């Protein structure tokens, strides 16, 4: 019942997110969708008419469901089985607010990401924001048994997280028309956060003369 009610809302969300994400992709990018769930977002990105050629999206999941729409790497929650900077882009769509200890997760995702981290999460903004966001979080996850912590970072907290892992935001949206119209009024817009954070330039290696 919950799954059936949620299906059209989820479909619209996937379409809106794919429309946004393809703008940050470049030809031949390898993309990792961390916490990919059923893999619908990765599939929608790869099949998107504006997706640059040669983009390949794979997923990784701590709690794989089976039958995902994209290839999925096993993930124990600590180590992604991939080399440093193996992917140009990583996506974390509504995943971090489910993770009790986000620092190790974000550090591990940063390790395998060469260029950009794409974040979608919730923020508590506006009238009765907390009950509204907790309700949509629960409704979107209960049927799949995904545990909700009901903890959402502020944009300032997100920026501190990017800084810690050596990334900086180049796009930050604090309002998104993510769902079909009426649902969007109640649960979309200012309860939604989307950001693209790019790897900061590595510091240039110091020349031997400048070293003490």
Nearest approach in angstroms of CB 34 to ligand SAM is 6
Residue 121 found at the interface with ligand SAM (CB under 6 A)? no
The pair of three-digit structure tokens given for residue 123, joined into one six-digit string: 């923020």
Binder of ligand SAM out of 6, 12, 43, 98 (CB under 6 A): 98
C-alpha span between 197 and 171 (Å, rounded): 7
Closer CB to ligand SAM, 120 or 199, in the complex = 120
Closer CB to ligand SAM, 36 or 55, in the complex = 36
Element (H, E) at 79: none
Binder of ligand SAM out of 32, 37, 55, 191 (CB under 6 A): 37
Chain positions 132 to 151 lying near ligand SAM, rule: CB under 6 A, are 140-141, 146
Closer CB to ligand SAM, 65 or 190, in the complex = 65
| CB 115 within 8 Å of CB 182 | no
The pair of three-digit structure tokens given for residue 153, joined into one six-digit string: 């970072």
DSSP string, 11-66: HHHHHHHHHHHGGG--TT-EEEEET-TTSHHHHHHHT-TTSPTT-EEEEEESS--S
Residue 63 found at the interface with ligand SAM (CB under 6 A)? yes
C-alpha span between 93 and 173 (Å, rounded): 14
Residue 99 found at the interface with ligand SAM (CB under 6 A)? yes
Binder of ligand SAM out of 25, 36, 69, 106 (CB under 6 A): 36
3-state SS, residue 206? coil
Residues that bind ligand SAM (CB under 6 A): 34-37, 40-41, 61-63, 75, 77, 93-95, 98-99, 105, 140-141, 146
């Amino acid at each position: 019942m919950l799954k059936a009610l949620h299906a059209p809302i989820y479909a619209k969300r996937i379409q809106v997110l794919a429309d946004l994400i393809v703008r940050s992709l470049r030809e031949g990018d390898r993309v990792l969708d961390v916490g990919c769930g059923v893999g619908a977002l990765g599939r929608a990105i790869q099949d998107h008419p504006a997706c640059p050629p040669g983009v390949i999206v794979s997923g990784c999941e701590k709690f794989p469901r089976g039958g995902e729409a994209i290839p999925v790497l096993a993930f124990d929650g600590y180590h992604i089985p991939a080399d440093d900077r193996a992917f140009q882009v990583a996506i974390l769509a509504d995943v971090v607010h489910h993770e009790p200890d986000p620092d190790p997760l974000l550090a591990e995702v940063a390790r395998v990401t060469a260029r950009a981290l794409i974040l979608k999460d919730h923020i508590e903004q506006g009238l009765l924001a907390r009950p509204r966001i907790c309700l949509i979080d629960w409704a979107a996850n209960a049927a799949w048994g995904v545990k909700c912590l009901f903890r959402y970072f502020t944009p300032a907290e997100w920026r501190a997280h990017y800084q810690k892992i050596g990334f900086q935001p180049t796009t930050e949206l604090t309002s998104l028309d993510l769902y079909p119209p009426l649902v969007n009024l109640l649960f979309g817009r200012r309860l939604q956060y989307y950001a693209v954070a790019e790897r900061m330039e590595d510091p240039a290696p110091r020349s031997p003369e400048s070293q003490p």
